[in-house]
A = this chain, B = another copy of it.
Amino acid sequence: MKDFFTVTPLEEVFEYISSFPVVSDENIPVTEATGRILAQDIKAKEDIPGFARSTMDGYAVCASSTYGASEGNPAYLTLTGAIAMGKKSPDSISPGNAIRISTGGMLPDGADSVVMLEYVTEIDDTTLEVYKSVAPGGNVIIKGEDVHEGQTLVEAGIKIRPQEIGLLAALGKDRVDVYKKPVIGILSTGDEIVPIQATPGPAQVRDINSYSLFSQIINSGGLAVSYGIIKDDYQALFEKCTLAVKNSDMIVISGGSSVGTRDLTIDVLNALNNSRILVHGIPMSPGKPTILAKAGNKPVWGLPGHVTSAMVVFDRVVRPFVEHAGGKDLLKNRNQPYILAKISRNLSSAQGRIDFVRVRLKKSDNVLWAEPILGKSGLINTMVQADGLIEIDMNTEGLNKGTEVSVIPI
């Protein structure tokens, strides 16, 4: 049965995200975990640091021994020695005494603060002149100040950055549980498509989409697996789709911008085991003919065949599905960085759909301009020239030259 072609607004498409499953996890070395998605909370089983440390070069003291000290009225303390790095001092400090300490050194028992080198003169081997008072805790990181035992520091679902790697190292973890990379199968359809290694005959074109999608999947944290080029043939497409669904967490089919191929794709998606069409058309440009089906519990996308349309739909629509499948908590990773610029010309836009316009950034007269790249959505070079996309929402008829826009890097 062919579904009736009713478009689904983008925010309703996104409501399907959470209905799809998340992949399982694996345990990997921290040195390989950069950019992966954390699969369990990071909790501290110990205090960090495990002891009070000096943050400065200076002298460990009892703060009270320095109260009132100034240039004109220094305090005089007894210097009892120096603390070696990485060693606990056998001596303890009592009021009136001081001991030399370096940045990162462990405070001796009895000391509660460090007077900075700059405010001290060693009069002789045992006498210290102090010109400035220090408060208790001054120039010290106390035990557990960075991390305290039992604290949950990072929650599962975040993308691991260098600082999380550092935190894991601090906690002594050289391995970490992360979500596996979701396996995304790519199918490219069309009688006119030939492998990129081939010289296209008349009327033939190379298979661009399998490669640009491959790269986008990698950038989204997925593992791309290409199922090659499938002719516009129901049985061939059905069989390859069935295989791809079985072996993948999600599949993307590209090609089929013609009505005939689109119908073929819909027929195959409907026929897959335990399948239904969730979305058939999204009010966006480019990308209106996008299809989303659910086969078993897996998302199957029918992307437009035009290279630019397929790329924009992947970036703006499919990507969060890939990220969700890969365990990323989309609410905890929600701030999309962008570049502010001014639109360089008037731009019209149809109401009732979201427009994603490719733009090139150009600085002139100290203004950063976003220049719309006009060109048909079949042209890969328009994406190559683009630095980013601007989104013109459903209710905006267009933008006037000079309007400030947020350019989403692509």
Contact = CB atoms under 8 A, between A and B. Distances in A.
Interface of A: 30-31, 33-35, 48-51, 53, 55, 57, 84-88, 102-106, 117, 141, 145-147, 153-154, 161-170, 172-174, 190-193, 196-216, 218-219, 224, 232, 257-261, 305-307, 311, 335-340, 361, 368, 376, 378-381, 383-384, 386-387, 409-410
B384 A164 contact: yes
B192 A384 contact: no
Given A102-B261, A174-B196, A311-B163, A190 B85 contact: yes
B170 A208 contact: yes
18 contacts: A31-B214, A35-B218, A35-B219, A57-B259, A85-B232, A146-B378, A162-B213, A166-B311, A166-B383, A166-B384, A167-B380, A168-B211, A169-B196, A169-B208, A170-B206, A173-B196, A335-B368, A338-B338
A48 B49 CA distance: 61
A232 B86 CA distance: 11
A192 B104 CA distance: 8
Number of this chain's copies in the assembly equals 2
Nearest to A307: B166
Given A167-B381, A379-B146, A258 B57 contact: yes
Contacts of A224: 31
Given A31-B211, A162-B219, A361 B335 contact: yes
A208 B171 CA distance: 9
A230 to B, nearest CB: 13
Nearest to A164: B384
B337 A165 contact: no
Nearest to A260: B102
Nearest to A304: B103
B141 A381 contact: no
Contacts of A410: 161, 163
A50 B200 contact: yes
A325 to B, nearest CB: 18
A134 to B, nearest CB: 15
A351 to B, nearest CB: 20
A131 B238 CA distance: 38
